[in-house]
Amino acid sequence: MVWGDSQFKYWVQKYFMLIKVGDLNVVYSTDKISRPVEVYEELYTKLDACHNRVGHHGRDKAWHEIKDHYSWVPYDVVMIFIKLCDSCSNRQIFPKFPASKPIVSIGYLTRIQIDLIDMRCRPDGRFKWILHVKDHFTKFSWVYPLESKEAEPVAEKLLNQFYSFGPPRILQSDNGKEFVARIIKVCS
């Protein structure tokens, strides 16, 4: 909507009045309760003062404090100010996510977790990797040295493990489904 000069003047006269306070000319709104209209240059200072007066106790208290002292301050501006307040953001409580579904084991060797530990920075001769095998139920661990992390040597060590203690129902790995699938393919 484009306003002509006369429409703008009428709107200003209807909603605002100029009051001299000391040496300053202050714009007030002509609402039922006349409050000063804050100019853009002073808005941050006034928002900060009101927010500090209520003791950084949230957006609603700050919004009511600002509404009680000033008019024509946009709600969105107040929300952005509070969102960017350092004191409030340090105290902010982050949502706690519900605990993930627990992994349940019903007995010895029902679920085995395997993981490869990178020891390339401190190799022991030709061995640069460690295969860590852990029973989820008893928390018992086995470790095997490996020259590489390819599926064949890992499968060979796992077969030795299975021949000694029996195969697990579930073989779990952090290295991804493809890695486990390759190991199972090599084992069979």
Rounded Cα gap, residues 61 and 25, in angstroms: 29
Domains of the chain, residue spans: 8-91, 111-187
Is-contact 136 112, C-beta < 8 A? yes
CA–centroid distance for 130 within its chain: 34
Rounded Cα gap, residues 52 and 84, in angstroms: 14
pLDDT in tens, the chain (188 residues): 456 678 888 888 888 888 888 888 888 888 777 788 888 888 899 889 988 898 888 788 889 898 888 888 889 998 898 888 888 777 767 777 777 777 778 899 999 999 999 999 898 999 999 999 999 999 999 999 999 888 888 889 999 999 999 989 888 888 766 677 777 777 76
Q: At which residue do the structure tokens 């301050």 appear?
A: 73
Q: What is the pLDDT at residue 178?
A: 65
Q: Is the pTM of this model over 0.75?
A: no
Rounded Cα gap, residues 112 and 164, in angstroms: 14
Q: What is the CATH number of domain 8-91?
A: 1.10.340.70
Give the strands of the sheet with 129-135, arranged side by side.
141-146, 129-135, 111-118, 170-173
Q: What is the pLDDT at residue 1?
A: 46
Q: What is the pLDDT at residue 20?
A: 86
Q: What is the pLDDT of residues 124-152, one digit of tens each?
A: 999 999 999 999 999 999 999 999 888 88
Is-contact 172 112, C-beta < 8 A? yes
Q: What is the pLDDT at residue 152?
A: 86
Superfamily the domain 111-187 falls into? Ribonuclease H-like superfamily/Ribonuclease H (3.30.420.10)
